[in-house]
Amino acid sequence: MQVVFVSLIAISSETLYHQGMQLEKKLRYSYQEFLRSVHALLKPETYLEIGVRDGSSLCLSSCASIGVDPRFNISKELNDNVRLFEMTSDTFFEERAKETFLANTKLDMAFIDGLHLSEFAFRDFLNVLHYSKEDTLIILDDIIPSSIEITAREKLRGGWTGDVYKVARLLKTLSPQMEFCAVDTKPSGLMLITGAHASDLIELSKNSEGLQERLKGHEFSYASLDELRQNLLPQSIDHAKKYLARKYSSGSLKGQ
Ligand SMILES: C[S@@+](CC[C@H](N)C(=O)[O-])C[C@H]1O[C@@H](n2cnc3c(N)ncnc32)[C@H](O)[C@@H]1O
């Protein structure tokens, strides 16, 4: 009787451990689950990803895609229509972008997840804007850090977000005509940005150097994570999916 009792405990703790791991995985990867839904919903025809690493997010794309990263470590299967550029995003935009579909086609969707320093993410955003139309969906990663420590400007091992969150604040402050939706994905949130006009590109580019300097300082920081959340008002994943479904319900991505 005693033996049976012990083995029951063993089974149930193993089951609990397994369930815990599943939940942990689900939480940890929820941004990828969200991105999967976005691809399914928008069915973009053109996609750009800055910061690819092993391809975990790029593999979600089934359309003509470009991936840029100075150090690929691809372990996922990518669709046949993906072009990879092993270089920094700055070099890609300066030297190679024009030899891709970007020479004559605007982006339907872009995911910015490269170097986690605000001035780099801001430059990535400006470069993406250059190839965007009004209904392009631009997604910025790492805008809701889980602690102040991981926002350091010195690179940390593990879950480092750097100070990318400042870019979201800068854009909300300087380009209020764009539409923003922060999403509470694990591990560090996403910002959905639509409605960018050519005038935004002109205005932001005109002041680009000065804005990059300002980003390095404290002007776009928050006093606390509470203040950050109050400013960004992150939405649940379900809410964000409904928001996108409403926004793109007419299939407005197609044919532009
Ligand atoms: C967080 S990982 C990307 C993860 C990937 N998007 C995903 O979700 O699976 C960030 C990547 O940015 C790349 N990176 C670093 N500096 C970069 C730069 N200047 N331009 C583009 N990518 C850069 C790194 O090599 C790294 O692979």
Does residue 51 lie within any of the structural domains?
Answer: yes
Query: What pLDDT score does 176 carry?
Result: 85
Query: What pLDDT score does 230 carry?
Result: 96
Sheet arrangement for strand 190-194: 82-85, 64-68, 46-50, 107-112, 132-141, 190-194, 179-183
Query: Residue 72 Cα, ligand 1 centroid: separation in angstroms?
Result: 8
Out of 113, 125, 185, 212, mutate this one to test ligand 1's pocket (max ligand atoms within 8 Å of CB): namely: 113
Does residue 2 lie within any of the structural domains?
Answer: no
Does residue 43 lie within any of the structural domains?
Answer: yes
The domain in which residue 73 lies consists of: 26-247
CB-based burial label for 212 (10 Å; 0-12, 13-18, 19+):
middle
Ligand 1 neighbourhood includes 51 CB (under 6 angstroms): yes
Does residue 7 lie within any of the structural domains?
Answer: no
Supply the pTM of this predicted model. 0.89
- Count of domains for the chain: 1
Query: What pLDDT score does 252 carry?
Result: 54
Ligand 1 neighbourhood includes 37 CB (under 6 angstroms): no
Residue nearest to atom 1 of ligand 1 (CA): 113
Q: Can you give the CATH number for the domain in which 130 is found?
A: 3.40.50.150
Ligand 1 neighbourhood includes 53 CB (under 6 angstroms): yes
CB-based burial label for 224 (10 Å; 0-12, 13-18, 19+):
exposed
Query: What pLDDT score does 47 carry?
Result: 98
Average pLDDT per block of 10 residues along the chain, 256 residues long: 43 51 55 97 98 98 98 98 98 98 98 98 97 96 94 88 96 93 96 92 94 97 96 96 92 48
Does residue 13 lie within any of the structural domains?
Answer: no
Does residue 21 lie within any of the structural domains?
Answer: no
Ligand 1 neighbourhood includes 68 CB (under 6 angstroms): yes
Does residue 253 lie within any of the structural domains?
Answer: no
